[in-house]
Structure 1
């Protein structure tokens, strides 16, 4: 196919100015790259330019052990032909390298002997390296002060706190997307996260761990007031001290109450991934073919919302240049739709939900969650707890895993309590929640009116790619769930 010409909205905003004036791109070069990308007969092509500056500081045992600044720049070029995807990337933004990458992607997608095509990127893997001026000395000093305050607050919380690690990571990501369908979008995306990890030890040499942290697409002034380093440090220390006195979690099937906020990670893993369109297009999801059917209790409504100001999972545009949006996935227990990107939208003939995301310019986009949460119900949280004769109250979670094909999940509760005769009693340790996502939602009998989102710590993995996300939920009661533990 001959090279085509595309209208790419030549107005240069502040987002675009960086790429045009600092990195030497031009509208003509973008047109040439797209033309080359479609030269072997592809149906669609896009260019994803990315420039990231980052800073990381880490303190261990009161000493700054890590400090780094870096920059990464590159472009990923994708070509679609039916269900076939051709992709190439380069960290060299010269016209010769960009055009070569475009031709490579074109051949992978549309040329003969596709399976044998290898090594066409011919580029070295980008590496972070110190760059003077990424952050001013004043900003670096302010970040250092934040982790010093966190370290001190954790140690001051209780003498049984014997080890503290504190870190802060932030980045500024600039992106520019140009596509053969006329898409031309750009964005500048800040991201910051403060992390605290502590170890507590008692006189019997029992140890326990606690973690906390927060952030989002925010500036440093976020870490003031209610979201101060002291707040997160005390929360990590409190969790560790609590675990020192915890009893072994009971085992068996019982009523389970999930607390508001971060426990929404269970919803994210057990349900959210199964509602991403690519899994459903390939019919590998437990939710494949169930749109319009009852998949949860009528009390359950789940949405994915990428438009929430300052949230970790929010984006002005996704990584395909589409505005993000609020998407209702499950409404009163009925499955309403999936999260889609351009490829899934075209192949499944469904609306594009602006959910195309990628880890970096070295990766292809795919449908991903942004901020996923369950909406409020009408129950009072205290009434939910009072309704439980004997069960588990899971307030916070650590790690977990899910099998997308059948929805089965296993999650570890990092903070949980027994519920006895409607009252929250002893803290427990070693509790795991075991179940099936679609099945578990059918046992939701009460939903609180206290919806909360996580503090801004979520990172989601899929197919080797990690992206920042948000989760949330109100207090929720499940009438049946299997709890793993060593107690009675």
Structure 2
């Protein structure tokens, strides 16, 4: 049985493959042998996921460099699927002996006759232009430039107000190279940059303390952190939040109208609705959205998409971690549930198309359906009119942590920046506000959707089953006619 590459890839894609072949001594024959071993006990499908990461991290606390690291790592994860069962093994030694041993270990999940491979790999990456630049290799000069960004953020935050008493700033980036070969002929690769700058501050005024945080980034090069997305921009934003909270009043409690601001508040949409639309939860009937395709699950004003094809966005990918091209997937359209986010396993078992949503944290983890950039589309309402329509309510601009029960859809979110709305006007900032509700139910109370769609600054990290991946969120200003607010005020 011979395996050949049947379709020429682009120059960049070919360079990605050559990286693994040249640096680690891989050959097409070795990939074929590993897949053969993986399917030697039967099984329906097998794949190899090679990964190499070069990373940098710098942290500054109290104007002193408290941490700085650079590292490289590489490994391969080998998966075998047999029915609904998955066998998985990984190794950080990419020698042929260790790869073949990992393949045999993964094969133990299966029980049946040897599975024949599809003849020939397909170089099936999308031929569209890459969604992100590939930075040049790091140098001492670029490391110094990264440290300069962090120190600038520290200085700007301290200069914002004398009540800023503590500042922590950090910068991290990575360049991830991946190569995927699978028994269905998939043969894909990608080089994925990722960078993030973050600022955290504490303000103090007498006995009262408050905090603020800001940051941003994406699949970008270092020059992204200049101009409007400069360290000073993020530092000033974190400091502004902290100073604002010093004089905030206690949040009211009870059911009321709630307005969510544009951008990062889309994290509530991501958690309360997005996870419930991932295919594995629906295949296992553990999602509140299971079996509801074609039914109304939200207000007719609500359309939600997941889009992995947005240039330079934190959640974007040229190909997912199973080698499939990412896409824009409409999840909810005018309130009607249209579909789920699926990987290869869920697509096969559910009889649906894969949406290029198979993602994993690293070669040590199995892929599963995950979001990329998830957001609500624009409506027709003017944001100022949305505020004016509220007699008494809450305007939530920024969110901190939250918890969601996928099965029931119930959620609790803390608002890190929120204001009272009184007689159609934004008034006092509030502290300790929480939003409590049910994801599918909450969307039915959306009565107004603004025309000011914004995406987050590039800070999102999503956790699921112990795995973390970078994501993006967003929404326009929206009004919910009913939502329970938790607080200690009147």
TM range (shorter): over 0.9
User: Partner of 1:364 in structure 2?
Assistant: 366
Matched residues in 2 for 1:274 and 1:312: separation? 21
Note the C-alpha offset of 1:444: 0.1
Answer yes or no: is the 8 Å Cα contact 1:43–1:79 preserved in 2. yes
Which secondary structure does the structure 2 equivalent of 1:149 belong to?
A: helix
Show structure 1 runs of 4+ deviating over 6 A.
Answer: none
Answer yes or no: is the 8 Å Cα contact 1:5–1:35 preserved in 2. no
Matched residues in 2 for 1:404 and 1:7: separation? 43
The question of 1:100 aligning with 2:101 is answered: yes
Matches within 5 A, 1:276-355: 276-355=278-357
Matched residues in 2 for 1:55 and 1:205: separation? 38
Give TM-score, length-normalised by structure 1: 0.94
- 224, 227, 230: which one aligns with 1:228: 230
Note the C-alpha offset of 1:196: 0.2
Which secondary structure does the structure 2 equivalent of 1:337 belong to?
A: coil
User: Partner of 1:125 in structure 2?
Assistant: none
Matched residues in 2 for 1:379 and 1:159: separation? 40
Answer yes or no: is the 8 Å Cα contact 1:7–1:182 preserved in 2. no
Answer yes or no: is the 8 Å Cα contact 1:147–1:167 preserved in 2. yes
Note the C-alpha offset of 1:6: 3.7
Could you tell me which runs of 5 or more consecutive residues in structure 1 were left unpaired when the two chains were aligned.
113-132
Give TM-score, length-normalised by structure 2: 0.93
User: Partner of 2:74 in structure 1?
Assistant: 73
Which secondary structure does the structure 2 equivalent of 1:109 belong to?
A: coil
The question of 1:144 aligning with 2:147 is answered: yes
Matched residues in 2 for 1:285 and 1:64: separation? 45
Answer yes or no: is the 8 Å Cα contact 2:78–2:102 preserved in 1. yes
Note the C-alpha offset of 1:139: 0.4
User: Partner of 1:36 in structure 2?
Assistant: 37
Note the C-alpha offset of 1:111: 7.2
The question of 1:411 aligning with 2:422 is answered: no
Matched residues in 2 for 1:60 and 1:451: separation? 35
User: Partner of 2:454 in structure 1?
Assistant: 452
CA deviations on 1:304-363 (whole Å, 9 max, x unpaired) are 000000000000000000000000000000000000000000000001100000000000
Which secondary structure does the structure 2 equivalent of 1:188 belong to?
A: strand
Give aligned pairs, total. Answer: 464
Answer yes or no: is the 8 Å Cα contact 2:3–2:28 preserved in 1. no
Matched residues in 1 for 2:254 and 2:449: separation? 23
Matches within 5 A, 1:424-435: 424-435=426-437
Note the C-alpha offset of 1:205: 2.3
Which secondary structure does the structure 1 equivalent of 2:362 belong to?
A: coil
Matched residues in 2 for 1:165 and 1:351: separation? 45
User: Partner of 2:110 in structure 1?
Assistant: 109
Matched residues in 2 for 1:110 and 1:487: separation? 62
Note the C-alpha offset of 1:135: 2.3
Matched residues in 1 for 2:385 and 2:108: separation? 62
The question of 1:173 aligning with 2:176 is answered: yes
Matches within 5 A, 1:5-24: 5-9=2-6, 13-24=14-25
Answer yes or no: is the 8 Å Cα contact 1:61–1:164 preserved in 2. yes
